[in-house]
Amino acid sequence: MTSLDPRIVRLLLAVGAPVLALGAAFAITSLVLLVAGDPVGEVWSTILSPPETRNVVNIINAATVLYLSGVAVAIGFRMNLFNIGVDGQYRVAAFAAAAVAGEAWLPGVLNMVLAVLVAMLAGAIWAGIAGLLRATRGVSEVISTIMLNFIATSVVAFMLRQLAVREEGSNIVSTRPIPEGSRLPGIPFGDLPNLEIYGFVVVAVAVGFGYWFVLNKTRFGFDLRATGRSAPAATASGISVRRMTIATMLLSGAIAGLVGMPLLLGSSYAYGSTFQSGLGFAGIAIALLGRNHPVGIALGALLFAFLDEQSNPLQILVGVSPDIVAITQGVVVLTVVISYEVVRRFGSRLEQRRVAAALATERASGTDDKQEARA
């Protein structure tokens, strides 16, 4: 091992961690299936079977939504802020955007842009409350964002009742649907009709790039990461931790506001009682899985979307509860965290050994020199 080029070792370690994690998750889930007496082979062959075109579209669409959620959480993580409130933030934002866009005050595309801006603003304000509490009163953002999630549920429910419209004969309540001209057209995929990828996928990619750029290439990003590593050190070098806390939460909330937009502008066109929930919590898992890296988050989102989509027929075709996939997802997150730690320690021990060996030879040759000089 020690004879290998350190760069190759580092690459192997980087690849090793996720492979180890997935392998372990696979093993644990299989054990659960075995204990439950379910057909292990059939379950995996269903989940791992190549998805059809229509499933590919669903996977990409679901991953788009999950990706935005993952990035929103990751922004907080980079600054050592645990924004559990993405869930509430995106629901408040999606509702606000749906309510405003449904009124159609602006024509066509302008209305759509307005909806997205309203969503980002609403998400930022909702997250900003937690940021402000943290910065001014030292309230843990973990507690305040959880509380804000509950408040978001009630506020949205109350507001929805005020604005609700109801189709004749339907029991679903929702906001006024967004007019056709203000909907975001999808990108056709494959040769089947009605098969479209959310147009918002472009925005998601842009958000991913922007996340990478702002964090790694700007002063703000440097301040953010520095504060995340060590707040006292950041203060010592002239960074206002309070301002960074609020700014990070605002940014995280604004991106969280985008989470519901692919759904709102691309498929449901209204916020109602069947709008997808729980996306913020999935985002936490995906950010962990992707190690807060824009590409890592994308892979994590695709993996989760893949598992979700492929689990749907499990109950129908194999007779196994799709909950098994929820178990797999949970186990993946755990094993990723553990295996990264394992690999990190393994890597640092390798490094120590390499340095020690190098030092030993240096010292050995150094004493030789001295002895030679003495002689």
Partner 1 sequence: MRRTTKLAAVLSTAVLALSACGGGDSESDSGGDSGGGDAGSDIKVGVAYDVGGRGDQSFNDSAAAGLDQASDELGLDFQESEASDGESEADREERLRTFAEAGYTHIIGVGFAYSPSIAAVAPEYPEVSFAIIDDEAAVGDNIANLVFAEEQGSFLVGAAAALKSESGQIGFVGGVETPLIQKFQAGYEAGAEAVNEDIQVDVTYLTQPPDFSGFADPARGETAATGMYDDGADVVYHAAGGSGGGVFEAASQADALAIGVDSDQYETADPAVQDVILTSMLKNVNVAVYEWLTAAAEGDTPTGTTRYDLAADGVGYSTSGGQVDDIEDQLEDFKQQIVDGEIEVPTTP
- Give the binding site for partner 1 (CB under 8 A): 20, 23-24, 26-27, 30-31, 34, 39-42, 44-45, 54-55, 58, 61-62, 65, 153-154, 156-158, 160-161, 166-173, 194, 263, 267-268, 272-278, 308-309, 312-313, 315-319, 322-323, 326, 342, 345-346, 349
- Smallest distance, Å, CB 363 to partner 1? 27
Q: Between 65 and 133, whose beta carbon lies closer to partner 1?
A: 65
Q: Which value, in Å, is the radius of gyration of the alpha carbons in the chain?
A: 25
Q: How many CB atoms lie within 10 A of CB 227?
A: 26
Structural contact between residues 265 and 183, judged by C-beta atoms closer than 8 angstroms: yes
- Smallest distance, Å, CB 211 to partner 1? 24
Q: Between 131 and 272, whose beta carbon lies closer to partner 1?
A: 272
Structural contact between residues 173 and 159, judged by C-beta atoms closer than 8 angstroms: no
Q: How far apart (Å, rounded) are the C-alpha atoms in residues 162 and 142?
A: 31
Distances (CA, A) of 171 to 99, 165, 174, 272: 19, 11, 10, 11
Q: Between 253 and 280, whose beta carbon lies closer to partner 1?
A: 280
Q: Between 79 and 333, whose beta carbon lies closer to partner 1?
A: 333
- Smallest distance, Å, CB 40 to partner 1? 4
- Smallest distance, Å, CB 168 to partner 1? 7
Q: Between 109 and 157, whose beta carbon lies closer to partner 1?
A: 157
- Smallest distance, Å, CB 88 to partner 1? 12
Q: Between 110 and 157, whose beta carbon lies closer to partner 1?
A: 157
- Smallest distance, Å, CB 155 to partner 1? 10
- Smallest distance, Å, CB 268 to partner 1? 6
Q: Between 24 and 334, whose beta carbon lies closer to partner 1?
A: 24
